[in-house]
């Protein structure tokens, strides 16, 4: 039976360490500040924003929520981003996705000052990551790597298969694994024989948004399985991995909930502290 990777416990450690860093910055006269922009009434987004506010309070980061109606125009949203870019008490800006129809997400994300881009989505930060420079990194991929480091799982030389090629998880996590000297394969909906590719993985990262897609026969015995998916099925939250069957063959596995999810917010707090430190 696979050993569980406890994302809640690891995230707690990261938040505690971030709180120490935030306190040290305050002693230097730097009060970390995060602004979250929420447009519309997406229920999941509202839950995420509340969780981020709670985490900010826990680690001592000043937070602002800018809640805008669904009818907000492109110009109004870009003006707000410009104001936050110019606000010296704000070190991190997070524009909650998805945005309403009619607003170009890439245009908005590109408007955020790259130094305040704590989501790591600005094209400049994406480019820096791709060429191996230090930069602000997307929170979920950063959380995946942090979990493995703290579990003392060796990454160097491992065969990593990433199932999913999104800009938010798949592509950046693949880049981070390359930076760790892993051998990386990225699979997607056009990949031939997905199951065979996944069975090659020492570390399998799944981020496709399809409930219980990855079955036992897709996983090499003893592999580490990182389930990034979160799907609501019959009022229950489930991942992209068929947890019960895969747990019988994997060496380590993240649960859903309680795996990668808590790490995402913990790494957002860490990124905000890093951005504040760089600005001082």
Main-chain dihedrals φ then ψ at residue 236, nearest 5 degrees: -120, 150
Element (H, E) at 227: strand 224-227
Q: Are 228 and 147 in contact (CB under 8 A)?
A: no
For the chain, the farthest-separated pair of C-alpha atoms sits apart, in whole angstroms, at 56
User: What is the rounded distance in angstroms from the CA atom of residue 154 to the CA atom of residue 175?
Assistant: 17
User: What is the rounded distance in angstroms from the CA atom of residue 213 to the CA atom of residue 195?
Assistant: 10
Q: Is 96 annotated as catalytic?
A: yes
Q: Is 16 annotated as catalytic?
A: no
Q: Is 215 annotated as catalytic?
A: no
Residue from 96, 115, 117, 242 carrying the catalytic annotation: 96
User: What is the rounded distance in angstroms from the CA atom of residue 100 to the CA atom of residue 175?
Assistant: 29
3-state secondary structure 50-86: HHHHHHHHHHCCEEEEEEECCCCCHHHHHHHHHHHHH
Residue from 21, 52, 116, 220 carrying the catalytic annotation: 52
Residue from 115, 116, 117, 119 carrying the catalytic annotation: 119
The dihedral of CA 142, 119, 233, 55: what is its sign? positive
Residues serving a catalytic function are: 52, 96, 119
């Amino acid at each position: 039976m696979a050993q569980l990777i406890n994302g809640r416990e690891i995230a707690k450690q990261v938040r505690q360490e971030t709180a120490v860093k935030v306190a040290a910055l305050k002693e230097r006269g730097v009060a970390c500040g995060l602004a979250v922009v929420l447009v519309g009434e997406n229920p999941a987004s509202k839950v995420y924003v509340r969780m981020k506010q709670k985490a900010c309070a826990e680690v001592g980061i000043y937070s602002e929520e800018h809640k805008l109606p669904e009818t907000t125009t492109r110009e109004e949203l870009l003006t707000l981003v410009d104001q936050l870019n110019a606000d010296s008490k704000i070190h991190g800006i997070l524009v909650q996705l998805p945005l309403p129809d009619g607003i170009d997400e890439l245009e908005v994300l590109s408007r955020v000052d790259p130094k305040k881009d704590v989501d790591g989505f600005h094209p400049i930060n994406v480019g820096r990551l791709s060429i191996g420079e230090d930069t602000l990194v997307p929170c979920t991929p950063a959380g995946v790597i942090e979990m493995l480091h703290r579990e003392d799982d060796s990454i160097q030389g491992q065969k990593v298969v990433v199932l999913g090629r999104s800009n938010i998880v798949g592509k950046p996590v693949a880049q981070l694994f390359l930076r760790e000297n892993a051998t990386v394969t990225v699979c997607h909906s056009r990949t031939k024989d997905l199951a065979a590719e996944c069975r090659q993985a020492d570390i399998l990262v799944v981020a496709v948004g399809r409930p219980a897609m990855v079955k036992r026969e897709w996983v090499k015995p003893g592999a580490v399985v990182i389930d990034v998916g979160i799907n609501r099925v019959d009022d229950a939250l489930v991942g992209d991995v068929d947890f019960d069957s895969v747990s019988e063959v994997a060496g380590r596995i993240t649960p859903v909930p309680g795996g990668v999810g808590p790490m995402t917010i913990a790494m957002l707090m860490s990124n905000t502290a890093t951005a504040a430190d760089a600005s001082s």
